[in-house]
Chain A
Amino acid sequence: MNTSAAPSTPPLARRLAVLRGIDEAIHTALRAVLPALAEHADEDELEALVDLLCQTGTEEPAGTLALIARLDGLVPDPVSVTALRRWAFDGLQRHSTSPAKRLQHFETGDPLSFADPGAQSDADHILARRAALQHYLAGFGFPDFRLELHAPQRGQAAPTRVTVGDDVLLVPRRWSGVGEGGVDTRDRLYRAAMAHAAAHLQYSPRQRPAGNRHPMLLAMLALIEDARVERLMLRQYPGLHALWGEFHVATRLSVGFDLNGLAARLAHALHEPAYADSNPWVLLGRQMFEEAAADLHDVAAFAPIGRRLAVECTKMRLPFDAERYRVVPAYRDDNALLWNLNALESDDEVNSLERELLASREPQKEPLDPLLTVEIDVRRRRQHPEWDYKLEMLREDWATVIEAAVPNPRESSRRHSTASARRSPLRFNALAHIPDRSVRLKRLHEGDELDLDATVDSFVQRAGGLTPDPRIFMRHGRRRRSTAIVLLMDLSVSTTRFVPGSFTSVLDIEKRAATLVAGSLDASRDRVAVHGFSSNGRQEVHYVRIKDFDEPFGPAQQAQLKAQEGRLSTRMGAALRHASEALAAETAERKLILLLTDGEPSDIDVFEDDYLVEDARHAVATASASGVETFCLTLDRQADGYVRRIFGGRNYLIADQAATYSDAAGQALAKLIAQ
């Protein structure tokens, strides 16, 4: 449950009080810099900042202290609190397994790299197209490549070209050397980049040792290699010529005579036969390439071209600046896949030695320390994303759901379990009324079509002087769709409280409803599972499968249900995601999650009011996009505000009477199934 102070306290003071509760030292440190910050930042920004520090403080106290020491002069100018938040969570996410790196991120990391709104919008733009581009790449025969963004960096060091790895394509947050262009141009740029990467993957020898070759030589060899693989690719996919051609814009007038410009012109000349260039260096490159192009598969024949071009450049005394050199056009990758810069080449012996060393090193990648005995945690873990509504982005793999190991029903004697111990006497009729008809309804008094067999019989009867049977019609009945249901029980500590005016705990009521529903559904048609959850921070969302789809609701499962106790908090979003994942494996035509709860989502490491509500809303929306419907049944009479936000206007029911809770659950389910 959230700590709530008296409403009269100003919001900032209330937040500071929360922060003080988390970590005294952080609070003191912040207090020290707060006056300086307040000179530039307004109230809202300060509140957002304290919210952020509450979050990071629980996970990375040392880093948070380091961050506070840097705050003055950083926030709100030049870094907005939003950018700082993005940067902080990126660090928590990226270095989740390495505390040292995480601390370093907060001590020396650069929030400014997240402050560039242009780069951010570029990154969002390409991430929105990630799935399409992965499909596109799969069409070229590389179905398993991931598409990721380069790690954010600022200034000269920021990568502006695609990098092709073994199983991943790293895409720059910002491409340099591309005009503004419309959305269509950008889409074509992405496709051009994917197609070019596919050409490399298909035809280029990868990871050749670079040895001590001069960077300029490497650049020239890469330039020739780019042209070679594109030529090969065009044989199979002729339309790519025009796609790539759009980005070859270098001419004598537009780029000039330095090395970068000449390289761009040569690339253009090798791509486009119609392009005329009078520069002798470009002409030389073109002529040599066309001679070698008789056999494009002969990689060795192309190496001398690059070497000769590099030599000519040296003769012309053209300076090569490796820092500033960018592969042009922009769709081409940085050719990191061609070279292994760390491997020596000079002669074969060194080479083979190196390879042996590498080979012998490989199996030791994950050293197993015999002294270190780690108890292996056999519980299944699964990471789910969470929705950050302030940044409007999904934090990947943020919450960890831990499934309880083998169910171990253990009779526990608890003071408040008396109610659920009784076998429920309630007869549960709602589900009996779900319409269920066979596919073809025959011999009806009225219907859509004549039932031919019945008609014939009827006429035969008439001809025989009998009273004809008037039921000669048929109709196509609606077959009820099969349904898979997860009853998701909130097992947080708040459920152990008694319902006002009774000696029944909320948990008991939940259990009674679960028993009723699980016991009365027709197992031949509907599949039902009873799951429960509670949470202890984002790293520890406990999830228990009390009764799974393939289990009967037998004595073991009933005992398991009875044994559940209320503890910890309510991280609803993660549980909903986990449940809808369980449903995704089901083949039923309809999939439902019925959430039984008593209050709004909360967790110990979240201090912002709306964060978990918004996250749960996002989880519901995601589930519904994948065909899983959610419905919430709550006992909280004040739930109106947030359940509507989470589940939508029609998908919740507030049971105001504890006595009718399980009835309401049954009716809600009957209605849902019949829909």
Chain B
Amino acid sequence: MDDAIRPYLIDSEPYYRAAGSEVALFEAACSRGLPMMLKGPTGCGKTRFVEHMAWRLKLPLITIACNEDMTASDLVGRFLLDAQGTVWHDGPLTLAVRYGAMCYLDEFVEARQDTTVVIHPLTDDRRLLPLDRRGEAVRAHPDFRLVVSYNPGYQSAAKDMKPSTKQRFGAIDFDFPAADVETEVVVHEGGVPHDTAAKLVAVAQQSRALRGRGLDEGISTRMLIHAAHLIAEHIDVHDACRLAMAAPVTDDRDLMAALNGFVEAQFGPKA
């Protein structure tokens, strides 16, 4: 493995509790070199899953958070200067392509469509990244893998992938895990007893019923873990739930009152 990407290797196993057959599916798709697309609500474990899979496949993981302002050169690289003159600097994508790493583009639809087309030649049978400014075509390392993720929930219709981009990927649909699995995750990650975790999960499930009533997304597994951390540090349950779960998801007073009501329905009224 090249030294350039060695720092991206993941040493210890990131915890991931499989909710279905996604691990096996992902492994199979990856072994064929198929680029993968992970869809699902925020905080349901997409990023953790990618980390886990990178560790499992023993691949370095290069993560890029996409945004509207990102240009193609932010991905593939650009010329910079040193004392002698210009020098080419590989972007994160080129790095992964050249030396063989898993490249993870988070919130992929946030990037502008004209930026995302740079991955097209990489994701068909050419497996090639042309660097036009440098006059080089980088042939993808056999270990190069491409994974993108996005949240189909709150993106507007304007932010969507081109069909030509979409059709290059295999996709796995993520959702919040079943109650018992989610409880297990909260127990493991949050360090709270099973009973408390189960109650937190029940609050989250009630909140998810409010999706579309002013709440874009319900309370996510990630937020449950935050709340659990606070509870494990002996913060009052109601305060912890308010801080980590209710207050971040909404500014609406009525929704907030309902969310606090759900907490009360599990933990009783605040003393």
Binding site for B on A (CB under 8 A): 129, 131-133, 135-136, 138-141, 143, 187-188, 191, 194-195, 236-243, 246, 439-440, 452-453, 455-456, 459-460, 463, 476, 587
Contact = CB atoms under 8 A, between A and B. Distances in A.
Given A188-B269, A195-B265, A138 B210 contact: yes
Contact of A139 (B86, B156, B262): B262
Contacts of A187: 257
Given A452-B80, A453-B78, A459 B209 contact: no
B264 A191 contact: yes
A129 B258 CA distance: 10
Contacts of B194: none
Looking at chain A's contact residues, is the secondary structure mostly helix, strand, loop, or mixed?
Answer: helix
Interface in B43-60: none
Contacts, number: 94
A476 B209 contact: no
B213 A191 contact: no
B80 A456 contact: yes
Contact of A136 (B79, B85, B199, B262): B262
B267 interface: yes
Contact count band on B? 20 to 34
A243 B257 contact: no
A124 to B, nearest CB: 16
Given A136-B257, A138-B210, A460-B86, 13 more contacts: A135-B257, A135-B258, A136-B261, A139-B210, A139-B262, A243-B264, A243-B269, A453-B73, A459-B81, A459-B86, A460-B85, A476-B69, A587-B156
Given A136-B257, A243-B265, A455 B206 contact: no
B248 to A, nearest CB: 17
A135 B265 contact: no
B135 interface: no
A139 B269 contact: no
A104 B261 CA distance: 43
Interface string B178-215: 00000000000000000000010010001101100110
B85 A239 contact: no
B258 A132 contact: yes
Contacts of A133: 258
B78 A452 contact: yes
A143 B213 contact: yes
A129 B257 contact: yes
Nearest to A458: B81
Nearest to A460: B86
Nearest to B265: A237
Contact of A463 (B68, B85, B206, B261): B85
B85 to A, nearest CB: 6
A114 to B, nearest CB: 27
A136 B266 contact: no
A236 B79 CA distance: 61
A491 B68 CA distance: 45
Contact of A135 (B199, B202, B254): B254
B32 interface: no
Contacts of A456: 78-81, 86
B209 A141 contact: yes
Nearest to A128: B254
Instruction: Name which of B156, B213, B258 has the most chain A CB atoms within 10 A of its CB.
Output: B258
Which 9 A-B pairs give the minimum distances between C-beta atoms? Answer: A242-B268, A135-B258, A139-B206, A132-B254, A132-B257, A131-B254, A237-B265, A136-B258, A239-B268
A239 B264 CA distance: 6
Nearest to B262: A139
